[in-house]
Each structure stands twice: as structure tokens, then as C-alpha cells.
Amino acid sequence: MTKAELYQELSYVNHSREKRLQYAKLVIDNPELIPTLLDILFDVDDKISCRAAWVFEFMCGEKLEAIVPYLNTFTENLSKVHLDSAVRPVAKVCEYLVKANYSKTDNAIKTHLTETHKEKIIEACFDWMINDEKIAPKAYAMNALFLLGHEYDWIHPELAIILERDFQMQSSGFKARARHILKKIK
């Protein structure tokens, strides 16, 4: 499938779980499509990039190890994503990666997620926390940062400052998640 053909297929993806899963399975069954999907995802000013992000998130939810050969591409470009409906799935993939990295069970992410990858994820997560993003990317970012804070001792104090500073201005969903994270940090 060419980039143009995949691009055309992505126009059929909608918010339904069924469609996102259908196209995620297409990519899982045809891993040669992953670089093309990432090209479309990181064409960040194109509205179809959001649909590519949705499919990529579902692909990672189904088979996270499929991202391993593309960790450099993903982490190098994730901070460029700025459309709301693309930021959420990209933040979710970051959370998936961090959770897998600190999982008790062995997995491919643990052996392939490098220091550089983690630094890029940390940078993007802090950007989502301090920028005017919706609650979902902030929630995924605070979870990822909390876990990363066990390895990087400077993260927890910085995260606590942001959570306490923004607490009053945020939604009830943010407050609930922030309370939970702050309790774990202290």
C-alpha cells in the first residue's frame, strides 16, 4: 500500500472504536505500513494526521512491541504534534511506553527504550503539563512522569510544583488525578 493509498484509507477512520481497531489491525498485519503511518502522523498540520494518531495509538494498545523499530522516529517527532485530537493519542502512547518500561514482566520495550527516548518523552510530557492542553494528555503525561520519577529523582518535585500550581484552575478530572499522584509522591 502506498502512502497515498494509506492516506486515503485513513479518511475512513472515525472516532468509533470499531474503525480505529480495524485500521490498527491492518497496520499490525502489515508492519511495513508503520513508517508510512508515522509519516502521516507527523505531518502535524494536516487534519488526517489525527486519524493516523488514533490508529497508531490503537496499534500500540494491541501490540506495543511493533513500535520498537520506530522508537527513534516516534520520540524525535512527538513534541511537534499540536492538534488536540492528535496530542491525546500520542500522549497515550508515551504512557504505554513508560508503563511497559517499568512493568514487572519482561518485554521488548524494556530493552529498547533508551535514555534518549526517555528524555524526549519527559520533555514532551512536561510540555503537555504546562501548556494549555486538554485533561487527557495531561493525565497520561502525569502518569508517565510519575513513573519516570522513580528513575529520575528531579521529576517528582517538578511534577508536584506543576500539579499544585495548576490545581485550582483545572477540571475536576485533573484534580482527581493530581490528588492521586500527589499523594503517591509525598
CATH of 3-185, one of 2.40.50, 1.25.10, 1.10.3470, 1.25.40: 1.25.10
Per domain, the residue ranges of the chain are 3-185
- Per residue in 110-141, pLDDT (tens digit) is 999 999 999 999 999 999 999 988 889 999 99
pTM of structure: 0.94
Spatial contact of 109 and 64, defined as CB atoms under 8 Å apart: yes
Sequence-distant (≥ 6) Cβ neighbours of residue 65 within 8 angstroms = 107, 108, 109
